[in-house]
C-alpha cells in the first residue's frame, strides 16, 4: 500500500471556494447531488482530481453540460476530469447506502439516525471532492427526507430555510458562512429531542444551544449542557475566543469510532460523552463528558477557524486542544488531581507507544492510513509540548503568543511550525532546539545525580539525558528539557524556591550554594517535561518528599516511586522495606490538610502495566503476585484505618461537588484495601456498598472489587447489575468492561464466554472496546502464559476488520509490544500478528499496524 510522506506535500491543484450539497436522505439509498465551483490554483495544467471511496458517478456535469463516459475517469476511486479553463462548475450525482456502512465513516445509520463522520478521510465516501484539509469551501446544504422518520434535519452553520413536501417528506437548508475543510462537514437526520438553552457571548451575540438525543435520554443531558456553557465562558476569559455562529448543536449517537467530532456548529458525539446521570455514570464519566464537550467546543478556534495544512500537522489542532481541555478541567476541579490523572494517562498510553514499534514523532514523517495516527503521541504528548512552551514563556507571554497565532492564521490551514513561530514572535524566545520535540520520537530519559560537598557547602545537580532509538530514528540529538526543581532542607522541611532549569546538553551540571547539609531533590515538579527521571534519591528521601513536598505532583510522584522501588525490588528477589510504604500511606491517609481526592491518588499502588514499564523484561505473573502481596500487606497493616475511612466517607445525598467526588474516590480505595486485607467481612462490606450505593461511582467500584475475587457475592452482584442495566447500552458496557479488567484467575475464559454473550456485538465500537479494549489492558490476563489471551484479541481483530477496520486497528498495539516480554510470550504474540497479516483482504488500517508491529 501507498506510503504518504510529509516531504511530498504540494499545494492543491484546484481550490473549491463554494460547494452546494443536495441530499435525498434514506437509510437504504441516499442520493447526493454536489455542485462545486472549482478554481485552478497556480500556473499548472493538471486535471481536476476529486477523491472518492466506493463511489460511482451517476452523472458528471461541467458548466451545466453532462459529460460522456470518456470525458472522465476513475483512478483508485478518485474522479479525474481534464478541465480546460481556470474556473468551472462541476456537478456530480452519487447514491449511497448508509445502513450498509459498518465502517462508521462517511454517511451511516445508527439506531434509526442518519449521521456523518468525515475526519479524517470520510467525506470522499459521501461525494467526490478534494478530500484534504487545505481545501476550504463555503457550504450550502439542502436535505430532504421522510418527515415521520427523520423529523429533525441538522447540518453545519445556521439554518436558513425549511418546509414540507408532498408525500410526507420535508426539507431543510443550512448555510455555513465560514470556509472549512470537508472533514468538518456534518449532517444528522432523525427523531431527536432537544435540550435547548442559550449563551450570550462577550460581545453580546446570542447563541442558541441544542443538545440532541433520543427522547428518553433527555434527562441525562444536563451535565453536558453545563459543560458547554462553562467551556464557552472559559474560552472567552482565558483565550479571548468568542463563538461565531447563531447556533451550536451537539448530537449524541450510539455507534461512533471515537469520542466525538468537532464539525463546525454541529458536533457529533459518542453518546458515552454526553449522557450522564448518577444512576448510570461514574464521576470519571462525568469528568469525561465535561472534558470532551470542552475539547470539541475549543476546536472551534483551535482546529476549525485555524485548521491543519495536511494530516502531518494533526497535533497542531489536537495537541493544542488537549492542552486547552486539560487546563479547563483543571480550572473546573482540582488542578493537582487533574495533573496527576493526565500524567497517569500519558504514561500508560503514550510512554508505552513511544517505547514500542509504533513510536512516531508528534509531527510524523509518513503514514499509510491516517486514522492510525490519532494517537496518544499526537494528542497527549502534543499537549505536553504546548504545556512546556507555556511554562517557558510564562502566562502573559503565552497568552500574547496565542493571540498572535489566532490573529495571524485565522481562516488558514496552518502548520506546527506556524504555531511555534507564533510562540517565538509573541513570547520573544528562541525555540530552535525545542522544535526537536516535534521531530524526534521516544521518551527522553534524564538521569539526575545530586552530589553534596560539605566543605564547600554546595550541592551539584548533574543531569544527563538520552533519547532512545525509535523506528527510523537510530540517533537522537539532545532535547531542550524544562525541569522545575527545588532543593529541600530535610531539617526545616523547607526549600528556597522553585527553579526552572533548562537542560539542553547531553550532560549538564548545576551548582547550588549555601547547603551545609545534603538537600533533598524535588525534580520535574508539576511534571514540567514528559520525560523519565532516574535519580539517586534514597527511600528515605522519597518518604520525606511524600510527606513534605509542597508541589502536589512531586509529592504524589515520590509516593509512587517509593512503591515502585519496593515492588520492583521484591520482584527481583531483593530484600525490601515494605514498612516504609505502609508508613507513607498511613501518613498521607491521615493528613487532615490533604484533599481526599489527592490522598486517593497518592495511596493507590502503581498499575501492573506501569510496573512492567520499569522492568527490562516484563514478567506479568511476578508483577501481579508482588502487587497483590503488597496490597494485602497494606490492607492488613492499616485495616482499622480503611474501616474508618470507608465508614466516615459515606455521603448522605449525591452531589457532584469536588468534596463529594473526592470522598467517593477515597472511600472506594479504602474498600479496595479492606477487601485486599483478606478480612472475612470484606466481600460482605463490598456487597453492602454495591447494594446501597445511590450512585454509579460507588456501585461500579464495589462491583470491580468483588469481580477480582471468587466469592458468592461476586456472582450475585454481576447478576444484579446485568438485570438492572441490560437495556441501557452504555451501562451494560460497564458490565463487560468490569469483567474483562478483573484480576480473576479465569478472566481469559470469561472473556471468551462474554464474546459469545447475546449482548455482545462487533458492530458497536463501545461494546468492542468494553470487552476487548479492557481485556488487552489487563496485563496479567491478556499475557496469560497459555497465549489464549493473544488468540482472543487476534480473532477479534480479524473478525472486526471486515466490519470496522478503524476500530480493529486500535486493538493491534497491545500485540505489538512483544519485544518487552519473554521469548515464549513474544513468539506467541508474533505468531498472532503474522496470522492477522495472512488474512485475505486485510484493511490498510490493520495491515499498517500489524506490519509495523512485526518490524
Residue 339 binds: one of ligand HT7, Zn ion, none (C-beta under 5 to 8 A by kind): none
> Which DSSP state fits 605?
P
For the bound state, the minimum distance from the C-beta of residue 270 to ligand HT7, rounded and expressed in Å, comes to: 8
Give 614's contacts (C-beta < 8 A, 6+ positions apart): 564, 568
Binding mask 308-347 for Zn ion (x = CB under 5 A): ----------x--x--------------------------
| Residues 666 and 651: beta-carbon distance below 8 Å | no
Binding mask 726-745 for Zn ion (x = CB under 5 A): --------------------
Query: At residue 679, what are phi and psi to the nearest 5 degrees?
Result: -55, 140
Nearest residue (CB) to Zn ion, 217 versus 318: 318
For the bound state, the minimum distance from the C-beta of residue 355 to ligand HT7, rounded and expressed in Å, comes to: 24
SS3 782: helix
Rounded Cα gap, residues 592 and 612, in angstroms: 33
Which residue from 686, 688, 678, 676 is spatially nearest to 706, judged by alpha carbons? 686
Rounded Cα gap, residues 795 and 788, in angstroms: 10
Nearest residue (CB) to ligand HT7, 260 versus 503: 260
Before 691, cis peptide (omega within 30)?
Answer: no
Binding mask 275-314 for Zn ion (x = CB under 5 A): ----------------------------------------
Residue 117 binds: one of Zn ion, ligand HT7, none (C-beta under 5 to 8 A by kind): ligand HT7
SS3 669: helix
How many residues lie near Zn ion (CB under 5 A)? Answer: 2
How buried is residue 840: exposed, middle or buried, by Cβ count under 10 Å (0-12/13-18/19+)?
Answer: exposed
Residue 852 binds: one of ligand HT7, Zn ion, none (C-beta under 5 to 8 A by kind): none
Residue 92 binds: one of ligand HT7, Zn ion, none (C-beta under 5 to 8 A by kind): none
The residue sitting closest to ligand HT7, measured at its beta carbon, is 258
β-strand 113-117 against 106-110: which pairing, if any?
A: antiparallel
Buried/exposed 311-337: b ≥16 CB within 10 Å, e otherwise: bbbbbbbbbbbbbbbbbbbbebbbebb
Rounded Cα gap, residues 325 and 287, in angstroms: 11
Tell me if residue 296 is catalytic.
Answer: yes
For the bound state, the minimum distance from the C-beta of residue 299 to Zn ion, rounded and expressed in Å, comes to: 6
Rounded Cα gap, residues 104 and 116, in angstroms: 8
Rounded Cα gap, residues 429 and 412, in angstroms: 24
For the bound state, the minimum distance from the C-beta of residue 321 to ligand HT7, rounded and expressed in Å, comes to: 7
For the bound state, the minimum distance from the C-beta of residue 258 to ligand HT7, rounded and expressed in Å, comes to: 3
Before 120, cis peptide (omega within 30)?
Answer: yes
Which uninterrupted H or E stretch holds 354?
helix 352-354
* 432's grid cell: 530552535
Nearest residue (CB) to ligand HT7, 419 versus 690: 419
Residue 643 binds: one of ligand HT7, Zn ion, none (C-beta under 5 to 8 A by kind): none
For the bound state, the minimum distance from the C-beta of residue 262 to Zn ion, rounded and expressed in Å, comes to: 6
E strand residue ranges, 374-476 = 413-414, 445-453, 458-466
Nearest residue (CB) to Zn ion, 325 versus 601: 325
For the bound state, the minimum distance from the C-beta of residue 129 to ligand HT7, rounded and expressed in Å, comes to: 18
Nearest residue (CB) to ligand HT7, 291 versus 426: 291
Supply the angle between the helices 788-801 and 844-854 in degrees, to the nearest 10. Answer: 150
**Where on the chain is the footprint of ligand HT7 (CB under 6 A)?**
117, 119-120, 257-258, 260-262, 295-296, 299, 318, 371, 374, 806
| Residues 828 and 352: beta-carbon distance below 8 Å | no
Nearest residue (CB) to Zn ion, 261 versus 676: 261
Residue 257 binds: one of ligand HT7, Zn ion, none (C-beta under 5 to 8 A by kind): ligand HT7
Q: Which entry of 121, 262, 296, 608 is annotated as an active-site residue?
A: 296
Nearest residue (CB) to ligand HT7, 283 versus 318: 318
Rounded Cα gap, residues 158 and 207, in angstroms: 11
Give how far the C-alpha of residue 47 lies from the chain's centroid of Cα atoms, to the nearest Å: 39
For the bound state, the minimum distance from the C-beta of residue 684 to Zn ion, rounded and expressed in Å, comes to: 45
Nearest residue (CB) to ligand HT7, 325 versus 613: 325
Which residue has 450505593 as its cell numbers?
A: 693
For the bound state, the minimum distance from the C-beta of residue 605 to Zn ion, rounded and expressed in Å, comes to: 32
Nearest residue (CB) to Zn ion, 184 versus 605: 184
* 158's grid cell: 445556521
Give how far the C-alpha of residue 552 lies from the chain's centroid of Cα atoms, to the nearest Å: 24
Residue 697 binds: one of Zn ion, ligand HT7, none (C-beta under 5 to 8 A by kind): none
Q: Summarize as ranges the residues that interact with Zn ion (CB under 5 A).
A: 318, 321
Give the residue numbers marked as catalytic: 296
Amino acid at each position: 500500500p501507498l506510503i504518504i510522506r510529509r516531504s511530498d506535500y504540494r499545494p492543491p491543484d484546484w481550490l473549491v471556494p463554494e460547494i452546494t450539497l443536495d441530499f435525498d436522505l434514506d437509510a437504504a439509498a441516499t442520493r447526493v447531488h454536489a455542485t462545486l465551483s472549482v478554481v485552478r490554483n497556480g500556473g499548472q495544467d493538471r486535471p481536476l482530481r476529486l477523491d472518492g471511496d466506493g463511489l460511482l458517478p451517476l452523472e458528471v456535469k461541467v458548466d451545466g453540460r453532462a459529460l460522456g463516459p470518456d470525458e472522465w475517469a476513475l483512478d483508485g476511486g478518485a474522479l479525474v476530469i481534464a478541465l480546460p479553463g481556470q474556473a468551472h462548475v462541476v456537478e456530480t450525482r452519487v447514491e449511497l447506502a448508509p445502513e450498509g456502512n459498518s465502517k462508521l465513516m462517511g454517511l451511516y445509520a445508527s439506531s434509526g439516525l442518519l449521521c456523518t463522520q468525515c475526519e479524517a478521510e470520510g467525506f470522499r465516501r459521501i461525494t467526490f471532492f478534494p478530500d484534504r484539509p487545505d481545501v476550504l469551501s463555503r457550504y450550502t446544504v439542502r436535505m430532504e427526507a421522510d418527515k415521520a422518520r427523520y423529523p429533525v434535519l441538522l447540518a453545519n452553520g445556521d439554518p436558513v430555510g425549511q418546509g414540507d413536501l408532498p408525500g410526507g417528506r420535508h426539507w431543510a437548508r443550512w448555510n455555513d458562512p465560514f470556509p472549512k475543510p470537508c472533514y468538518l462537514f456534518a449532517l444528522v437526520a432523525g427523531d431527536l429531542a432537544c435540550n435547548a438553552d442559550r449563551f450570550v457571548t462577550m460581545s453580546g451575540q446570542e447563541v442558541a444551544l441544542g443538545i440532541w438525543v433520543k427522547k428518553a435520554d433527555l434527562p441525562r443531558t444536563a451535565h453536558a449542557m453545563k459543560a458547554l456553557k462553562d467551556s464557552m465562558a472559559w474560552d472567552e476569559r482565558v483565550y479571548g475566543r468568542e463563538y461565531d455562529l447563531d447556533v451550536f448543536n451537539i448530537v449524541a449517537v450510539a455507534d461512533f469510532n471515537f469520542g466525538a467530532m468537532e464539525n463546525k456548529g454541529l458536533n457529533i458525539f459518542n453518546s458515552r460523552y454526553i449522557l450522564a446521570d448518577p444512576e448510570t455514570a461514574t464521576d470519571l464519566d462525568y469528568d469525561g463528558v465535561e472534558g470532551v464537550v470542552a475539547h470539541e467546543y475549543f476546536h472551534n478556534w483551535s482546529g476549525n477557524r485555524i485548521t491543519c495544512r495536511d494530516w502531518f500537522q494533526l497535533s497542531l489542532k489536537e495537541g493544542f486542544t488537549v492542552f486547552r481541555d486539560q487546563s479547563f478541567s483543571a480550572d473546573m476541579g482540582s488542578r493537582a488531581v487533574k495533573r496527576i490523572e493526565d500524567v497517569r494517562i500519558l504514561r500508560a498510553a503514550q510512554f508505552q507507544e513511544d517505547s514500542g514499534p509504533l513510536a512516531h514523532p508528534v509531527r510524523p514523517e509518513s503514514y499509510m492510513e491516517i486514522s492510525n495516527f490519532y494517537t496518544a503521541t499526537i494528542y497527549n504528548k502534543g499537549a505536553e509540548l504546548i504545556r512546556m512552551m507555556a511554562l517557558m514563556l510564562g502566562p502573559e507571554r503565552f497568552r500574547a503568543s496565542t493571540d498572535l497565532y489566532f490573529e495571524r492564521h485565522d481562516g488558514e490551514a496552518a502548520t506546527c511550525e506556524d504555531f511555534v513561530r507564533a510562540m517565538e514572535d509573541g513570547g520573544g524566545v528562541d525555540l530552535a532546539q525545542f522544535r526537536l520535540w516535534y521531530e524526534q520520537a521516544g521518551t527522553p530519559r534524564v538521569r539526575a545525580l545530586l552530589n553534596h560537598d560539605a566543605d564547600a557547602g554546595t550541592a551539584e545537580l548533574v543531569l544527563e539525558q538520552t533519547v532512545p532509538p525509535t523506528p527510523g530514528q537510530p540517533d537522537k540529538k539532545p532535547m531542550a528539557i524544562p525541569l522545575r526543581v527545588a532543593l529541600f532542607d530535610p531539617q526545616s522541611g523547607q526549600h528556597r524556591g522553585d527553579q526552572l532549569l533548562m537542560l539542553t546538553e547531553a550532560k549538564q551540571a548545576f551548582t547550588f550554594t549555601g547547603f551545609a547539609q545534603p538537600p533533598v531533590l524535588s525534580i520535574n515538579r508539576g511534571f514540567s517535561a514528559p520525560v523519565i527521571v532516574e535519580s539517586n534519591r534514597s527511600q528515605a528521601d522519597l518518604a520525606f518528599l511524600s510527606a513534605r513536598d509542597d508541589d502536589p505532583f512531586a509529592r504524589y510522584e515520590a509516593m509512587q516511586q517509593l512503591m515502585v522501588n519496593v515492588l520492583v525490588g521484591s520482584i527481583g528477589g531483593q530484600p525490601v522495606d515494605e514498612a516504609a510504604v505502609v508508613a507513607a500511606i498511613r501518613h498521607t491517609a491521615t493528613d487532615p490538610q490533604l484533599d481526599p481526592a489527592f490522598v486517593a491518588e497518592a495511596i493507590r499502588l502503581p498499575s501492573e502495566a506501569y510496573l512492567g514499564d520499569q522492568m527490562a523484561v516484563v514478567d506479568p505473573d511476578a508483577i501481579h503476585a508482588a502487587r497483590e502481596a503488597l496490597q494485602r500487606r497494606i490492607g492488613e497493616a492499616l485495616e482499622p484505618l480503611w474501616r474508618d475511612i470507608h465508614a466516615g466517607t459515606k455521603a448522605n445525598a449525591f452531589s457532584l461537588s469536588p468534596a463529594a467526588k473526592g470522598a467517593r474516590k477515597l472511600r472506594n480505595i479504602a474498600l479496595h484495601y479492606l477487601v485486599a486485607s483478606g478480612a472475612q467481612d470484606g466481600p460482605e462490606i463490598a456487597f453492602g456498598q454495591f447494594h446501597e450505593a445511590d450512585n454509579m461511582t460507588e456501585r461500579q467500584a464495589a462491583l470491580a472489587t468483588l469481580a477480582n475475587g471468587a466469592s458468592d457475592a461476586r456472582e450475585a452482584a454481576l447478576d444484579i447489575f446485568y438485570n438492572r442495566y441490560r437495556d441501557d447500552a452504555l451501562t451494560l458496557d460497564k458490565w463487560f468492561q468490569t469483567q474483562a479488567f478483573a484480576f480473576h484467575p479465569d478472566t481469559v475464559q470469561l472473556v471468551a464466554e462474554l464474546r459469545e454473550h447475546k449482548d455482545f456485538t462487533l458492530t458497536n465500537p463501545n461494546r468492542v472496546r468494553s470487552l476487548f479494549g479492557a481485556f488487552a489492558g489487563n496485563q496479567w490476563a491478556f499475557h496469560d502464559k497459555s497465549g489464549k489471551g493473544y488468540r482472543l484479541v487476534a480473532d477479534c481483530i480479524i473478525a472486526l476488520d471486515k466490519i470496522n477496520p478503524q476500530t480493529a486497528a486500535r486493538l493491534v498495539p497491545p500485540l505489538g509490544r512483544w519485544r518487552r516480554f519473554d521469548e515464549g510470550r513474544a513468539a506467541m504474540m508474533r505468531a498472532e500478528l503474522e496470522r492477522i497479516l495472512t488474512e485475505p483482504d486485510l484493511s490498510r488500517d490493520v495491515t499498517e499496524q500489524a506490519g509495523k508491529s512485526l518490524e
